[in-house]
A and B are shown apart, each in its own frame.
Chain A
Amino acid sequence: DVQLVESGGGLVRPGGSLRLSCATSGFIFSSYTMNWVRLTPGKGLEWVATISASTNYISYADSVRGRFTISRDNAKSSLYLQMSSLRADDTALYYCARDGPGGPTPSYYDHWGQGVLVTVSS
């Protein structure tokens, strides 16, 4: 079975940094584009960042560009999101999500993790 397990969330002060990880199993990680998507009570679901299988395509939402960095380690089947200069409006449940096979870029998401909570507050 495909599994995506996020970790690394927590409480951080405004201006601080945090690194999220997504450990995956059950599929050939190095063949799939991966994404981070977040959920907030006010804005609902918001795409955050995308990284292609070979890392030749990386894209960010305007709201996080310049502050967040998406990366991956295909040898470890893991996805990461380095978040810096965090703001209160970055508070959200962060999901990693796998692109559906054979779709366009960006694609739909056929598997999601359970999410990790990031709270930015003083």
Chain B
Amino acid sequence: EVLLTQSPGTLALSPGDRATLSCRASQTLTSRYLAWFQQRPGQSPRLLVFGASTRATGIPDRFSGSGSGTDFTLTINRLEPEDFAVYFCHHYGDSPGIFGQGTRVEVK
């Protein structure tokens, strides 16, 4: 079973900064079935990226996903106040689907 490790656990940044979030798989993902979600306090998860790099409908272009193999990255350019939240990665396509433990992006 694949394990996903997200780093860092917490990222303290200022509005306008760039955030770089990592999701590392314990084995090579031969397909690019990797999604990223955002979860704000008290809200349900919101899909940002699927297929490692395809932005979901309505997601601003300051969010971008990249990577393949075992290393995947979510980059958020020019952090907006509403971007301070928890971000999860998710490997799908194999059963069971696996989630990373999350990265919290907080205000510095």
Contact = CB atoms under 8 A, between A and B. Distances in A.
Do A and B associate with each other?
yes
The interface size bin for chain B is 20 to 34
A62 B95 CA distance: 11
A104 B95 contact: no
Given A59-B95, A104-B93, A108-B50, A44 B45 contact: no
Contacts, number: 63
Contact of A108 (B33, B46, B98): B33
Task: Specify the main secondary structure of chain B where it touches its partner.
Answer: loop
A52 to B, nearest CB: 12
Q: Name which of B47, B96, B98, B100 has the most chain A CB atoms within 10 A of its CB.
A: B96
B74 interface: no
Interface string B86-98: 0010101111111
B44 A112 contact: yes
A106 B47 contact: no
Contacts of A106: 92-97
B44 A103 contact: no
B102 A108 contact: no
Contacts of B90: 45, 108-109
A45 B44 CA distance: 12
Interface in A82-116: 95, 97, 100, 103-104, 106-115
B59 to A, nearest CB: 11
A113 B35 CA distance: 18
User: For chain A, which range describes its interface: under 10, 10 to 19, 20 to 34, or 35 or more residues?
Assistant: 20 to 34
A112 B93 contact: no
Contact of A107 (B92, B98, B99): B92
B101 interface: yes
Given A44-B101, A108-B33, A113 B44 contact: yes
Contacts of B93: 103-104, 106-107
B56 interface: yes
Contacts of A107: 92-93
A114 B44 contact: yes
